[in-house]
Amino acid sequence: MSERFQGRVAIVTGGGSGIGAAVAKRLAADGAKMVVVFGRRLSALQNTVDAIGADRCYAMSVDVSDEEQVKSAIAKVHEMFGTVDILANMAGIPGPSERVEDYTFADFKKVYSINVFGTFLTMKYCLPIMQAQHRGAIVNTCSCSGMRGYQLEIGYGSSKFAVMGMTMNAANENGGNGVRINCYAPGWVDTDMLDSILSQYEVTKGVHTEKNELKNGTMSRPSTPEEMANVVCFLLSDEASYVNGANFVCDGGKTLN
Ligand SMILES: NC(=O)c1ccc[n+]([C@@H]2O[C@H](COP(=O)([O-])OP(=O)(O)OC[C@H]3O[C@@H](n4cnc5c(N)ncnc54)[C@H](OP(=O)(O)O)[C@@H]3O)[C@@H](O)[C@H]2O)c1
């Protein structure tokens, strides 16, 4: 572990589980002064606070799809801790596994409200703080679903294309003022989301799939959340000082074939 985030204040959305919890822990282990975790379930966020320690981690119940909640939560973090140096947008939902004609508009809008609008809103309200201090790093969560047109995920897949597009738009506007914005594209990651997708397969297709039987690319396993946190924290750190507007593919080779 290093001190590469020493003195920095970070916001991690989806910080109560999976990749977000692993990112929050890694930021703290690498010296962050305060890691603020956003999510809807306070009980899940509390597990992350317990793992890191209440002196370095603070939980806020925030639905990232709600503009007023995001706006006031980010203002509160700024007021309480004096700055926001890092935004790690890890919150996301998969939506159902359905063909386009069976996918309801309500489900489509729900996936967009979290994956797309949530990412937009947190960037919208963190960027003025980062621009004023001429320092900041943002990482958004794309997916290899946002690079290929896989079947049965019209909502999720297209929402991740949008995340990559927004990352590039925002990076282009901000590269000159000390604020970098990147995204990363995981393949399969062993988290609650993967368990819920596999149980959907079982219900809708009647097919039981083991995690290691998935199309895991060149690997015979999904990644761990910690392997994704390594990538996210690299992009958030000064080691990536010349990386802006990138989509860092870390899918174990899933998109090679
Ligand atoms: N697992 C994979 O195979 C995989 C692959 C590619 C990309 N990803 C992406 O990786 C990211 C993290 O997912 P994960 O795999 O770590 O799954 P996860 O454990 O289910 O984490 C998703 C997190 O998002 C939070 N969240 C969902 N809706 C929210 C909302 N409206 N407001 C605030 N927080 C919300 C959840 O907390 P609450 O429910 O408490 O709100 C949860 O902590 C997601 O963006 C996902 O799309 C995952």
> How many domains are contained in the chain?
1
CATH number of the domain enclosing 114: 3.40.50.720
pLDDT tens per residue across span 94-135: 999 999 999 999 999 999 999 999 999 999 999 999 999 999
In a domain, 151, yes or no: yes
Query: What is the Cα–Cα distance from 98 to 43, expressed in whole angstroms?
Result: 31
Mean pLDDT confidence for 47-75: 98
Residues within a 6 A CB radius of ligand 1:
13-14, 16-20, 38-41, 44, 62-65, 90-93, 114, 118, 141, 143, 186, 188-189, 191-194
Q: How far is the CA of 176 from the centre of ligand 1 (A)?
A: 31
- Mark whether 150 is an active-site residue: no
Judge whether 114 lies within some domain.
yes
Residue 257 lies in a domain: no
Q: Does residue 213 lie within any of the structural domains?
A: no
Please give the model's pTM, rounded to 2 decimal places. 0.98
Residue 22 CA: which ligand 1 atom is closest? Answer: 16
Per-residue pLDDT band for 29 (boundaries 50, 70, 90) equals very high
Q: Is residue 195 part of a domain?
A: no
- Per-residue pLDDT, 203: 80
Task: Determine the residue of 11, 36, 37, 40 to mutate for testing ligand 1's pocket, defined as the one with the most ligand atoms within 8 A of the Cβ atom.
Answer: 40
Residue 13 lies in a domain: yes
- Ligand 1 atom 20 nearest Cα: 193
Tell me the torsion sign for CA atoms 236, 240, 244, 248.
negative
pLDDT tens per residue across span 71-82: 999 999 999 999
* Structural domain boundaries, residue 182: 9-187+225-248
Catalytic residue among 112, 125, 156, 184: 156
What pLDDT band is residue 205 in, cutting at 50, 70 and 90?
confident
Q: 13 C-alpha vs ligand 1 centroid, how far in Å?
A: 9
Rg (C-alpha) for the chain, rounded Å, is: 17
Residues above pLDDT 90, as percent of the chain? 95
> What is the CA(17)–ligand 1 centre distance, in A?
7
User: Is 161 inside any structural domain?
Assistant: yes
Please give the distance, rounded to the nearest whole angstrom, from the Cα atom of residue 240 to the centre of ligand 1: 24
Q: Is residue 150 exposed (0-12), middle (13-18) or buried (19+ Cβ within 10 Å)?
A: middle
Higher pLDDT, 200 or 59: 59
> For residue 1, is pLDDT > 90?
no
Half-sphere exposure of 255 (CA within 13 A, CB side): 15
Question: Is residue 63 one of the residues assigned to a domain?
Answer: yes
Each as own residue / partner, the long-range contacts of residues 40-48 (CB below 8 Å, 24 or more positions apart, any chain) are 41/16, 43/16, 44/16, 44/17, 45/15, 45/16, 46/16, 47/16, 47/21, 48/15, 48/16, 48/21, 48/24
CA pseudo-torsion sign 248, 250, 255, 257: positive
Ligand 1 atom at shortest distance from the alpha carbon of 156? 47
Least confident of 38-47, 149-158, 194-203, 215-224: 194-203
Taking only the tens place, the pLDDT of each residue in 144-155 is 999 999 999 999
